[in-house]
Amino acid sequence: MPVKSSAELIKAADELLKKKPARAKAAAEPEAGEEAPKKKPGRPAKAAGTTAAAKTPAKRGRKPKAKEEDGDDADLSDIESDLEGEVEAEAEAAPTAEKVKPLRMKISKAKERALMKEFGLDETVLSEEDLAKRRSRLKTLIKLGKTRGYLTHGEISDHLPDKLVDAETLEVVISMLNDMGVAVYEQTPDAETLLLNNTGQSATTEEEAEEEAEAALSTVDSEFGRTTDPVRMYMREMGTVELLTREGEIEIAKRIEGGLMDMMEAISASPATIAEILNMGEEIREGKVVISTVVDGFVNANENDDYVAEEDFDEYDEEDDDDGKGGSKALTKKLEELKNEALRRFDKLRELFEKMHKIYDKEGYGGPAYMKAQHAISAELMTIRFTAKTIEKLCDMVRAQVDDVRKKERELRRIIVDKCGMPQETFIKDFPPNLLNLQWVEKQASAGKPWSAVMTRNIPPIQELQQKLMDLQSRVVVPLTELKDINKRMNEGEAASRDAKKEMIEANLRLVISIAKKYTNRGLQFLDLIQEGNIGLMKAVDKFEYRRGYKFSTYATWWIRQAITRSIADQARTIRIPVHMIETINKMNRISRQHLQEFGFEPDASILAAKMEIPEDKIRKIMKIAKEPISMETPIGDDDDSHLGDFIEDGANTAPIDAAMQAGLRDVVKDILDGLTPREAKVLRMRFGIEMSTDHTLEEVGKQFDVTRERIRQIEAKALRKLKHPSRSDKLRSFIDSL
């Protein structure tokens, strides 16, 4: 640094002194009667400025203010000791302004306890005072038990703080007391019980009781807080992860996006993968695949990297905007725009791919023109945001190719090293450069080495595997070494993206809990609701776009809620109802509540049909579907002897009165037939199927009696005339009305 003259130093000091009153006005002056705060001794200005600036990184796009004044302050610190404190204040103020916003949200102790209480974990948060109180009371309890030889449950509850009176802690304390030889009873035992159980006062001294109490307290301290409840274990582990600030969410979202971009950049170097992407585009064009399953959206290369203000979207009423196909018109229009834009970009991608293919046919792989065309394809692919499933499918395709290469390489190593006896070091040194050289194995066979004789016999299988590798390279176009490098870069990007996603998910598990609690008692257990909500959270992480300006929780709430409501619709009911019908039922219930609040009575089917613009018969069907199933074991009345199932008629069984009528009719018919001759009675029984499985024709009855059909008809007519006599017919007339 050039040495300044005395005049320059004095001038600089005067300028700095002129600035001092303006800065002093900014500080709050002490009121009358108050002592002014003592000024701390100043430190060298240069050291303070450089150290603070070094520890605090500057925010992107802004120059550190400390550097603007650093030079003058450093020089003046040597000549004006009275200004040291002021210079130090300036040097420390600049880094404060430059401080980067924290990525994790700091939660106060009070808020932390409130969160723990909300999640049912407040009893595990004990202050120092509570801990001391717990130890003191437990020590007193143990000394009492050792002195008397027994304790009661009431005494244990009285000696424990309110926060410790739960089943788990009581179980630990009772087990610990039993191990110490202290019996625990429900109530104070009598002398006979104490004598039978050999329980009585112990001759333990005060010091021994104190030592045993301290030893037992360590057991309680280690056991306290442990739980086997999966919900509490999950929430306790979840509570160890700090919440994210908005800047932290953006930083993680950028890491996710960066990992995905690295993956797509690596994948785009494989022509086989580009061909698969173009095939997906054709399937979208032909309507075989829905666009939303392949593409999430697009990335504008000119878009600002920092987040923008929240966008104002025009909200629409989904009740009035139904297209009749289970979706909204706005969503259908959006998907149509997404499809058209995606097809346009796929067409451009196809042109670039065909251009690269022509260059490959003309110049081969790796030339300047080929690499330029490949970079153009990569740049175009970077503008398309593929779904997580699509990226995973493309990655699996590259992995399968690399796995095929490695499988054949392992087989070659097995033959050359294990079977032929070539040393591992020689194989690693000589073979990789000659992986596709068919003459290499022949040279090794004729080299006169110890393994040459065996290798001569294995030339065909080695060359066959090399030929398969050459065929594989021709299919994937890129060299095998380049294919492995693509796979490596792809895996690195995937690992970075996966780690960032995991961090984002773990930091937002509390959001899932808070939403899932609103859907309890709807047919699914709380853990199932949490798990379904976590699935929605993972989808939200995959689709989150930080550039839109929304906080992640604002966006994720919809995905979590949708996942939970869909799972309730699919799994909660005994009889599954389609999701679109569930939505219609919910809409009908909402309109019913509004009508009840407005007019004071429940709407009937005609009113609902008019408001929902649905035919009345369909409304009645929906109302039947909306009914919840009820258990047959539901008790009826105050006693537990009668259940709902006892009052439901069984249509498959005969009613008791009908059974009695049938039995009476059967007895009367038998009595009447017994009044006929045996031949006549048998003919009537066979003709009408009485007491038989079926009736018989005249010819079948004639064969039975070895007579003609006409004779059987005559016998039947004579028997029927006898039955028509009032002495017999009156007995049957009372049954006619019941038949």
DSSP string, 224-242: TT----HHHHHHHHHTTSP
Check which CATH number belongs to the domain holding 717 and give it.
1.10.10.10
370 has a pLDDT exceeding 90: no
Stretch 640-644: mean pLDDT, rounded?
79
Q: Identify whether 161 is part of a domain.
A: yes
Per DSSP, 635 falls in state B
628 has a pLDDT exceeding 50: yes
In this structure, the answer to whether residues 664 and 624 fall within a common structural domain is: no
List Cα–Cα distances, 324 to 14, 320, 554, 607, 613, in angstroms. 80, 11, 29, 21, 12
Residue that finishes a domain, picked among 195, 226, 257: 226
Q: Which residue has the higher pLDDT, 281 or 138?
A: 281
Q: How confident is the model at residue 488 (pLDDT cuts 50, 70, 90)?
A: very high
Stretch 432-454: mean pLDDT, rounded?
87
Give pLDDT, residue 68.
Answer: 41
Give pLDDT, residue 314.
Answer: 36
In this structure, the answer to whether residues 608 and 664 fall within a common structural domain is: no
Give pLDDT, residue 300.
Answer: 66
Q: Identify whether 147 is part of a domain.
A: yes
Q: How confident is the model at residue 549 (pLDDT cuts 50, 70, 90)?
A: confident
Q: How confident is the model at residue 597 (pLDDT cuts 50, 70, 90)?
A: very high
Stretch 401-415: mean pLDDT, rounded?
91
181 has a pLDDT exceeding 90: no
Stretch 546-559: mean pLDDT, rounded?
88
Stretch 138-144: mean pLDDT, rounded?
76
Residue that finishes a domain, picked among 226, 248, 268: 226
The mean pLDDT value of the chain amounts to 75
Give pLDDT, residue 563.
Answer: 93
- Choice among 62-76, 108-122, 503-517, 647-661 with the minimum mean pLDDT: 62-76
Q: How confident is the model at residue 316 (pLDDT cuts 50, 70, 90)?
A: very low
The shares of helix, strand and coil residues in the chain, as percent rounded to the nearest 5, are 65, 5, 30
Give pLDDT, residue 496.
Answer: 92
In this structure, the answer to whether residues 146 and 217 fall within a common structural domain is: yes
Q: How confident is the model at residue 162 (pLDDT cuts 50, 70, 90)?
A: low
Three-state helix/strand/coil letters over 73-137: HHHHCCCCHHHHHHHHHHHHHHHHHHCCCCCECCCCHHHHHHHHHHCCCHHHCCCHHHHHHHHHH
Q: Tell me the pTM.
A: 0.57
Stretch 213-241: mean pLDDT, rounded?
68
- Choice among 87-91, 448-452, 595-599 with the minimum mean pLDDT: 87-91
In this structure, the answer to whether residues 81 and 138 fall within a common structural domain is: no
Q: Identify whether 272 is part of a domain.
A: no
Domain coverage including residue 704: 658-733
Q: Which residues pair with 183 in a beta bridge?
A: 150
Q: Are the C-beta atoms of residues 547 and 254 closer than 8 Å to each other?
A: no
Closest Cα to residue 270, out of 371, 400, 399, 398?
398
- Choice among 20-24, 182-186, 223-227 with the minimum mean pLDDT: 20-24
In this structure, the answer to whether residues 629 and 666 fall within a common structural domain is: no
In this structure, the answer to whether residues 166 and 221 fall within a common structural domain is: yes
Q: Identify whether 628 is part of a domain.
A: yes
Residues contacting 2, CB < 8 A, separation 6+: none
Q: Are the C-beta atoms of residues 662 and 669 closer than 8 Å to each other?
A: no
- Please write the tens of the pLDDT for every residue from 524-543: 888 899 999 999 999 999 88
- Choice among 128-137, 289-298, 453-462, 673-682 with the minimum mean pLDDT: 128-137
Stretch 144-154: mean pLDDT, rounded?
77
In this structure, the answer to whether residues 136 and 218 fall within a common structural domain is: yes
730 has a pLDDT exceeding 90: no
- Choice among 205-219, 513-527, 573-587 with the minimum mean pLDDT: 205-219
Q: Which residue has the higher pLDDT, 738 or 66?
A: 738
Three-state helix/strand/coil letters over 18-73: HHHHHHHHHCCCCCCCCCCCCCCCCCCHHHHHHHHHHHCCCCCCCCCCHHHHHHHH
Query: How many structural domains does the chain have?
Result: 4
Give pLDDT, residue 562.
Answer: 92
77 has a pLDDT exceeding 90: no
Counting residues of the chain whose pLDDT is more than 90, the rounded percentage is 15
Q: Identify whether 201 is part of a domain.
A: yes
Give pLDDT, residue 535.
Answer: 95
CA distance 65 to 88: 14
- Choice among 318-332, 416-430, 667-681, 692-706 with the minimum mean pLDDT: 318-332
Stretch 104-123: mean pLDDT, rounded?
55
Q: Identify whether 401 is part of a domain.
A: no
Give pLDDT, residue 323.
Answer: 42
Q: Which residue has the higher pLDDT, 377 or 173?
A: 377
197 has a pLDDT exceeding 70: no
- Please write the tens of the pLDDT for every residue from 2-57: 444 545 555 555 554 444 444 444 444 444 444 444 444 444 343 333 333 333 33
- Please write the tens of the pLDDT for every residue from 325-366: 444 567 788 888 888 888 999 899 999 888 888 888 888 887
Element (H, E) at 664: helix 656-674
Residue that finishes a domain, picked among 179, 204, 226: 226
Stretch 290-316: mean pLDDT, rounded?
57
Q: How confident is the model at residue 107 (pLDDT cuts 50, 70, 90)?
A: low
In this structure, the answer to whether residues 599 and 686 fall within a common structural domain is: no
Stretch 547-571: mean pLDDT, rounded?
89
In this structure, the answer to whether residues 681 and 623 fall within a common structural domain is: no
Q: Identify whether 61 is part of a domain.
A: yes
- Choice among 218-227, 263-272, 396-405, 676-685 with the minimum mean pLDDT: 218-227
Give pLDDT, residue 432.
Answer: 87
Stretch 648-675: mean pLDDT, rounded?
82
Q: Are the C-beta atoms of residues 468 and 408 closer than 8 Å to each other?
A: yes
In this structure, the answer to whether residues 639 and 662 fall within a common structural domain is: no
Give pLDDT, residue 502.
Answer: 93
Q: Identify whether 303 is part of a domain.
A: no
In this structure, the answer to whether residues 633 and 684 fall within a common structural domain is: no
In this structure, the answer to whether residues 643 and 716 fall within a common structural domain is: no
**How much is the CA Rg of the chain, to the nearest whole Å?**
45
